[in-house]
Amino acid sequence: MEPEILLLLCVAAAGLLLALFLAFGSSGFFNLLLGRTRERQSAVLVKRIERAIAVAQNNIYVKSREMERLSHQLSAANLTLEQMNNMKSKFLSMVVHDVRTPLAAIKGYGELFSRAAADERHRKMSRNMTSAVERLNLMVSDLTDVAMIEAGKLSVTRERFRFGDLVTDLMASVEITSRSKGVRLHYDRINPAAVVDGDKFRLSQVLQNLLNNAIKFTPAGGLVELGSRLQGRWLVVSVKDSGVGVHSSEIKRVFEKFYQAKHQTDEKLRQQGWGLGLSIANEIIARHGGQIWAESPGLGKGSTFFFKVPAVSGS
């Protein structure tokens, strides 16, 4: 190419650039180029956000359908559970109502048989039958209380009474049980003048349960001790035994409904109850605004059960 032509082309290009520079200004030209670049980047970013939103919406839809399905399953399970709970309550009520009458008849016939028995063997058979009926009556009473608790109908009628009077009324039958088992029973460490604000019948039920349990799980020759002390506005009652003890993992679980100690290896002892007494006692003490608990150094080392209820006065 001729030098003159090349020079003319260069001059023309320079003139064009100069014209653009003058038209848009020194910064406008570069801003134009930069603005177009940003527009392209923004468009790409918007598309990415739109895709992410679409994916998120799809995930939300899938999760919402899953939650809806689980909600339906939970509703069905709750309905089934409510139906089963109602059936259980009706069953308990039916057992309580239908079993008491034949038990009363059996006990009556047993007493008649005992009076008419001609020899000791028959009298012993009658005593065994009466004892079995009494155990069944206790179980039915426990079922009655459980049904009342679940129906929210277990109530306590508060009155002021001397704790010593409750102990005096109760110990006649408890001493018979302890003598028959060969277990020593001490209750000289109570505060007889302490006045309790509570339901005498229900608290007597709690104390009898604790004492009977202590005697049941204490071998012949062992010792059961009943004690009480005033602690501020509370009367604290303790039932200590030298029996089989409670494993540390079960010290709280023994108050659960129908719970049977898994570390108790004596099947005869396990079969003497349904694991209801302590759960009922727990409910009764709770209705008094009190507390019930147990302590044990371990298996084979005995245990102590405590409960506290509001006290009014004492000496």
Dihedral sign computed on CA atoms, order 32, 38, 42, 48: positive
Provide the 3-class DSSP secondary structure of residue 189: strand
Segment (H or E) for 241: strand 234-241
pLDDT for 218:
92
Dihedral sign computed on CA atoms, order 309, 237, 134, 275: positive
pLDDT for 34:
61
CA pair distance 143, 83, nearest whole angstrom: 19
- For 159-313, CATH number? 3.30.565.10
Phi/psi of residue 294, each to 5°? -135, 150
| Average pLDDT per consecutive 10 residues, the chain (315 residues; last block may be shorter) | 58 56 52 67 76 79 79 76 67 65 74 72 76 74 76 84 93 89 91 91 93 92 95 94 88 82 62 75 94 91 94 70
Q: Which residues of 194-211 are buried (b: 16+ CB within 10 A; e: fewer)?
A: bbbbbbbebbebbbbbbb
Give the pTM: 0.63
CA pair distance 67, 58, nearest whole angstrom: 14
Look-up of token digits 């468009």: 43
Torsion of CA 194, 198, 200, 202, to 10 degrees: -130
pLDDT for 141:
76
CA pair distance 143, 273, nearest whole angstrom: 11
CA pair distance 171, 208, nearest whole angstrom: 9
pLDDT for 48:
81
CA pair distance 32, 24, nearest whole angstrom: 9
Segment (H or E) for 83: helix 3-116
The answer to whether the beta carbons of residues 187 and 167 sit under 8 Å apart is: yes
